[in-house]
Amino acid sequence: MKKVVSEEENIRIDKYLSDNTEYSREFIQKLINNDLVKVNGNKTKASYKVNINDEIEIYAEELLEENNIEPTKMDLNIVYEDDDVMVINKPSGLVVHPGSGNYNNTLVNGLMYYTNNLSDIGGDARPGIVHRIDKDTSGLLLIAKSNKAHEVLSDDFKNKRVKREYIALLNGVFKSGSATIDAPIGRDKTNREKMAVTELNSKHAITHMKVLKRYEDYTLVSCVLETGRTHQIRVHMAYIGYPVHNDPVYSKDKATSFGQYLHSYKMTFTHPITKKELEFTAPLPEEFESFLNKIEIN
């Protein structure tokens, strides 16, 4: 549920939602036409202009479920698995779950082929998905197989009990040994596919960054998230003037199909059922490692 604040009012609801959600304006309009968006409990029209304190509910899952999300055979890199959880090392280029315009060849399709035992709290379109990482971000992702595990892990993520460490290669040579970026993140008003540091419609965001190694034109860093905003590391690094290398969205340089050099390297969490403390790491992707070797030699 989204609640409209004063500076957001008098905007068409289809535009408001496309600016403040992951969905396109076309998909939002489709939801509205199927009575899957409600304002203050009532059906609405795309032309409706939002008012302060409007409460907006979106039932996107019902439309996504109609698109026949099929199990797909896929090579999953499973780091850990038991009856309640899985830890996956996701490759760069793989979308986590079906969304507007993309219903096939996602990690969810692969998980559905691999097992019937996935939590259904997230709906049919997101079985097992407790959190996500960007399509072109590689590394560790935590999956819930049981509903009880999903409930506990969701609460753990919400209350920052799951610790995540990323490794990123930044453009430029960062002079200090470490930094903490405390800057709010919200939807970019000129490009809905991007996020930005902004005071408008934003959420608190903190990233702790530490230098691991400096190269002639790059800096390898570790990033620890205190919050989990969309594109957080990518937005924060670009904001301080050191964008993630090869980022097709937040770097001004031309990017290859591999996407941003950002890897979810380490994850530490308490098992939702056994309460055992678990920690996992995932090696850098081959392309990431090869590029580091190349700039080391040069």
Give pLDDT, residue 5: 61
Q: What whole-number percentage of the chain has pLDDT above 90? A: 60
96 within 8 A of 106, measured Cβ to Cβ? yes
Q: Is the pLDDT of residue 62 over 70?
A: no
For residue 243, what is the DSSP state? P
For 288, counting Cβ atoms within 10 Å of its Cβ (0-12 exposed, 13-18 middle, 19+ buried), the class is buried
Nearest to 198 by CA among 188, 213, 209: 188
CA distance 73 to 50: 43
Q: Is the pLDDT of residue 35 over 60?
A: yes
CA distance 14 to 19: 9
Give pLDDT, residue 110: 92
240 within 8 A of 267, measured Cβ to Cβ? no
Look at the block and give the residue holding tokens 């998230």.
225
Catalytic residue status for 83: no
Q: What tokens does 226 get?
A: 């205190």
67 vs 21, higher pLDDT: 21
Give pLDDT, residue 156: 95
- Choose the catalytic residue: 19, 54, 134, 136: 134
Q: What are phi and psi of 140, to 5 degrees?
A: -75, 135
Look at the block and give the residue holding tokens 């008012």.
51
Q: Given pLDDT bands bounded at 50, 70 and 90, which one contains residue 188? A: confident
For residue 226, what is the DSSP state? S
